[in-house]
A and B are shown apart, each in its own frame.
Chain A
Amino acid sequence: MKIKNKTLLLVAVAILFSCFATPVRAQEITPTVSDDEVNRVAQQLYCPVCENTPLDVCPTKACAQWRELIREKIALGWSDQQIKRYFAEQYGGQVLAVPPLQGLNWIVYVLPPLVVIGGIYLAITIVKRSRKSVIPEETDLVPSPPPASETVMEQIEKDLQKEERS
């Protein structure tokens, strides 16, 4: 019974202290870290609860609390990377705006350049193959005359005539 009373007393004291401690800490931290500094980090993170909503613009109370958490971490001298790592450990990898460079995530970084390289290769191949099958006289790369004004007009007139025929 005595032990139980002591425990209750300790819990009550702890609660009392925490009540005092929290506002003091908030008062110390709040003025030193601006909203802009908080948002700079928050916009690199996504709300862990509402899907596809960046943390800096999420209107929920939960996100407001997470922004306050960022404020505390910045005040403690944490870097952006440390804060992002902390959030990823706490709430999972989906809070990061881009997947971290690990495991299967490499695909996201490697595939786009490969797509571009593949596209360039395809373009060159198609044009080269197409040129090869042209009759030699026509493939002569003597530059055709520039589309001077007259030729532009001719082209337009041709288009118009074609339009009329079709």
Chain B
Amino acid sequence: MIANIGFGLLVITLVTSLIAVITAVYGVTSKTRAMLETSRLAALSTFPLLSMSVAALLALLLSGKFEYVYVYQTTSLSMPVYLKIAALWGGQQGSLLFWCWLLSGFTFIVLIRKWKQDHDLLPWVIVVTNITLFFFMVLVLFFENPFLKYYILYNGEVITSLFQPFHAITAHPTDGSGLNPLLRHFGMVVHPPMLYLGFVGFIIPFAYAIAALIEGRTDDRWLKATRRWSLMAWLFLSLGLILGSRWAYDVLGWGGYWSWDPVEISAFMPWLTGTAYLHSMVMQDKRGLFKHWNVALIILTFCLVIFGTFLTRSGLFSSVHAFSESQIGPAFFIFIAVMFVASLGLLLYRWSSLSSNYQIKSFFSRESAFLYNNLLFLAIFAICLLGVIFPILSELFTGQQVTVGPQFYESAAGPLFALLLLLMGIVPLTAWSTSSARNLGKTVWKPALLSLVFPILAVVLSAKNWIAVIAIWLAALVICVTLYDYIRSIRLRAANHHEPLWKAFLTLTTRNRRRYGGYIIHLGVALMGMGIIGIEFFQTQTQAMLKQGESLDLSGYTITYRDLQITDTPDGRNVAKAEISISRDNQELKVVYPRIDYYYDSEQAVTIPGLRTTLADDLYIILVDWEPVTSEGATIKVFRNPLMNWFWIGSIVAVIGTLLALWPSTIRKSIAKEEA
């Protein structure tokens, strides 16, 4: 019954989204107010409809109705409640429904908040969001339905169907196969919703941009209306990527956090174009520049969002993320192509009216720096796209399967990331409009000199790789310049307004949140850069088979294998847990317990590392194998990841910076209050 209601609501949502599109187009073209109101109500109603459908699926998941295919495939009796909730997005069908629900929710918020304010643009926003919703609803209903049920035919064959076939009875499995063990981790519980919030969030600025193009509103109203949306989408996408990295670090046992897997890259590509868009948005906002560029970037980001979902869902690339394959690939491909061509066509149609009067006057001005920043992001994106699609092209045209691994991305995109750090380092001190290399040098030399302390320290601490030393200097440059400019502004504010430093700091930060939020984000990124440099250039590793009491040495640490215990747990796991002691200079630092969890229900093993983490380095220890009979010997692999913790600290700092930039301005609020 619950499933029937859930399915029925999906059908109604599909029809409603179509009605919203048709009435919006008709309402605008015929200038019929009633039609526009119908469109608004139809678009608004998709959210409660889908909310009820999601609730129906959740009810099935929580109550263990294993006769439903999705419930059987993603849950089991032994799973805790929070994982049963996470199963909503843990499988193909549920995650697509979740995607639709988020999109309808975001559209709902926009329509509730902005209908009066943006009444000329919003009908077209409804068209764009509801065309997208309609497409995804078609996928959910006709290709990936989460409400399918198991039936047993008269000949004993088990089939899946939405409706009960003639002479068939419902199958009642006593337990489900459970969620993929790799996904039973907090990072993975939170990672997909964050990623989807980011993905779907970028659809709103895209819809506004298209609405502005259709309406011929080529000023920056669409951009200003969606500034916060874009930043919020970027924040969620960043959080999704960071949490995914943490999940990989904790669960996959690679010794790292990023493996340049095609599906990882498919989420990284919209982040790259989205970040470029956030920067060029500033240029249009402050100087009226990059109008074409901004529209092109948001179109590209939208297409990459759909492309990212396509890559994960279509089964085109098999990886740990692409947890199942389906028949929806061609439909996705056609949708992306149609949306891309239509959006690009609109952009070309409005090309001339998007031109700007403002000019870039110098190679060293801040405007130029933003241009270089955008080009660098796009170049990295192009390299990522090449790496992702090349294996497909190779198989298509030559029949040969190839792998494009981390080495390609690191060598091709690495220098560009270094240039991005350089730009981040100097941009806060560049002047708007006219500037020269000499002027830039005059302002940058002090913090640049200070930043040299870091690479010198690295060399003193025996860093021999000159590329790593340069990379450290670049990250340090960002930190020094950002702090230098921040501190200088605080001191000046304190001097000019006769305020104590702390008050000057608070006033500056709270009154210009976008600027200083950006600074804090840059600081966070530089710290993350330190972590990346540490693991990329200075990671060491060793592996050996040890008997009880035996040790191995790595970079000054002594790792001793003490014991191994193998137990069965009540939640259906066989756990092999090693006891490993970490010591240095004959002093024990920590005992860690790396383990391998074997899940009986899915017949899958998960490697959980033992971790000792400090600000200087991480010791990441994996139990690779053990002597099956005596358990006296075990193969242990140890990674030393220098500076790794700074990657996570940096990501938290960047998130704080983004939240600061997102926070509504109190000044504007008080003005609005006064006006009211």
State the A residues within 8 Å of B (CB). Answer: 34-36, 39, 46, 51-54, 57, 59, 64, 92-99, 103-105, 107-108, 111-112, 115-116, 119, 122-123, 126-127, 130-131, 133-134, 138-139, 141, 143-147, 149-153, 155-156, 159-160, 163-164, 166
Q: Does residue B512 face the partner (Cβ distance < 8 Å to A)?
A: yes
- In the bound complex, residues from chain A placing their C-beta under 8 Å from that of B398 are 103-104
**B 78-101 contacts with A by CB, 8 A:** none
A107–B390 contact, CB under 8 A?
A: yes
A-contact bits for B534-545, CB 8 A (1 contact / 0 none): 000000011111
B368–A127 contact, CB under 8 A?
A: yes
A-contact bits for B649-676, CB 8 A (1 contact / 0 none): 0000000000000000101100100000
B512–A98 contact, CB under 8 A?
A: no
A105–B262 contact, CB under 8 A?
A: no
Given contacts A99-B403, A152-B488, contact A59 B361 (CB under 8 A): no
In the complex, what residue of chain B is closest to A30 when comparing beta carbons? B545
**B 410-440 contacts with A by CB, 8 A:** 412-413, 416, 429-436, 438-439
- In the bound complex, residues from chain A placing their C-beta under 8 Å from that of B512 are 156, 159-160, 163
Given contacts A93-B402, A104-B393, A104-B398, contact A138 B361 (CB under 8 A): yes
A144–B434 contact, CB under 8 A?
A: yes
Closest CB pairs A-B (n = 3): A97-B405, A35-B543, A112-B412
A93–B363 contact, CB under 8 A?
A: no
Instruction: List 20 extra interface pairs beyond A112-B412, A156-B489, CB under 8 A.
Output: A35-B543, A52-B262, A59-B253, A92-B401, A94-B391, A94-B403, A98-B405, A99-B404, A104-B400, A105-B402, A112-B386, A115-B379, A130-B360, A131-B361, A143-B436, A146-B442, A149-B488, A152-B492, A156-B508, A166-B224
Q: Does residue B318 face the partner (Cβ distance < 8 Å to A)?
A: yes
A34 to B417, CA, bound (A): 36
Given contacts A36-B543, A115-B383, contact A94 B434 (CB under 8 A): no
State the B residues within 8 Å of A (CB). Answer: 224, 252-255, 259, 261-262, 317-320, 359-363, 368, 371-372, 375-376, 378-379, 382-383, 386-387, 390-391, 393-394, 397-398, 400-408, 412-413, 416, 429-436, 438-439, 442-443, 485, 488-489, 492-493, 496, 508, 511-512, 514-515, 541-545, 596, 605, 607, 625, 635, 637, 665, 667-668, 671
B371–A126 contact, CB under 8 A?
A: yes
- In the bound complex, residues from chain A placing their C-beta under 8 Å from that of B433 are 144
Task: Give A53 Cβ to nearest chain B Cβ, in Å.
Answer: 8
A51–B318 contact, CB under 8 A?
A: yes
Interface hub of B405, B488, B544 (most chain A Cβ within 10 A): B405
Given contacts A107-B390, A115-B382, A153-B496, contact A127 B401 (CB under 8 A): no
Given contacts A35-B545, A93-B400, contact A122 B375 (CB under 8 A): yes
A27 to B39, CA, bound (A): 77
A166 to B361, CA, bound (A): 26
B543–A108 contact, CB under 8 A?
A: no
Task: Give B260 Cβ to nearest chain A Cβ, in Å.
Answer: 9
- In the bound complex, residues from chain B placing their C-beta under 8 Å from that of A35 are 542-545, 635, 637
Task: Give B476 Cβ to nearest chain A Cβ, in Å.
Answer: 22
Given contacts A123-B375, A143-B436, A144-B434, contact A46 B405 (CB under 8 A): yes
B255–A57 contact, CB under 8 A?
A: yes
In the complex, what residue of chain A is closest to B606 when comparing beta carbons? A59
A134 to B255, CA, bound (A): 54
Among B375, B387, B397, B430, which residue has its beta carbon within 8 angstroms of that of A119?
B375
- In the bound complex, residues from chain A placing their C-beta under 8 Å from that of B259 are 52, 54
- In the bound complex, residues from chain B placing their C-beta under 8 Å from that of A52 are 259, 261-262, 317-320, 403
Given contacts A107-B390, A141-B362, contact A97 B403 (CB under 8 A): yes
Task: Give A115 Cβ to nearest chain B Cβ, in Å.
Answer: 5
B386–A111 contact, CB under 8 A?
A: yes
B542–A99 contact, CB under 8 A?
A: no
B360–A127 contact, CB under 8 A?
A: yes
A164–B607 contact, CB under 8 A?
A: no
A152 to B496, CA, bound (A): 12
B253–A57 contact, CB under 8 A?
A: yes
A134 to B358, CA, bound (A): 9
- In the bound complex, residues from chain B placing their C-beta under 8 Å from that of A153 are 489, 492-493, 496
Task: Give B176 Cβ to nearest chain A Cβ, in Å.
Answer: 24
- In the bound complex, residues from chain A placing their C-beta under 8 Å from that of B431 are 144, 146-147, 151
Task: Give B673 Cβ to nearest chain A Cβ, in Å.
Answer: 13
A156 to B361, CA, bound (A): 22
A134 to B361, CA, bound (A): 7
In the complex, what residue of chain A is closest to B415 when comparing beta carbons? A116
Among A36, A127, A146, A166, which residue has its beta carbon within 8 angstroms of that of B542?
A36
B360–A116 contact, CB under 8 A?
A: no
A143–B438 contact, CB under 8 A?
A: yes
- In the bound complex, residues from chain B placing their C-beta under 8 Å from that of A39 are 541, 543
B317–A51 contact, CB under 8 A?
A: yes
Task: Give B317 Cβ to nearest chain A Cβ, in Å.
Answer: 7
In the complex, what residue of chain B is closest to A107 when comparing beta carbons? B390
Interface hub of A97, A112, A152 (most chain B Cβ within 10 A): A112
B371–A141 contact, CB under 8 A?
A: no
A99 to B391, CA, bound (A): 9
- In the bound complex, residues from chain B placing their C-beta under 8 Å from that of A146 are 431, 439, 442-443
A39 to B253, CA, bound (A): 14
A149 to B490, CA, bound (A): 11
A46–B403 contact, CB under 8 A?
A: yes
Given contacts A104-B393, A141-B434, A163-B665, contact A147 B443 (CB under 8 A): yes
- In the bound complex, residues from chain B placing their C-beta under 8 Å from that of A152 are 485, 488-489, 492
A123 to B365, CA, bound (A): 13
A153 to B515, CA, bound (A): 13
B408–A108 contact, CB under 8 A?
A: yes
A143–B439 contact, CB under 8 A?
A: yes
Interface hub of B252, B543, B635 (most chain A Cβ within 10 A): B543
27 A-B pairs with C-beta separation under 8 A? A52-B262, A52-B317, A52-B319, A52-B403, A54-B254, A54-B405, A95-B403, A98-B403, A103-B400, A105-B402, A107-B393, A108-B386, A108-B387, A108-B404, A116-B416, A119-B378, A122-B375, A130-B360, A133-B359, A143-B435, A143-B438, A143-B439, A147-B429, A147-B430, A149-B492, A163-B665, A164-B671
Among A57, A98, A134, A143, which residue has its beta carbon within 8 angstroms of that of B407?
A98
- In the bound complex, residues from chain B placing their C-beta under 8 Å from that of A126 are 360, 371
Among A98, A99, A131, A163, which residue has its beta carbon within 8 angstroms of that of B667?
A163
A97 to B402, CA, bound (A): 8
A64 to B398, CA, bound (A): 31
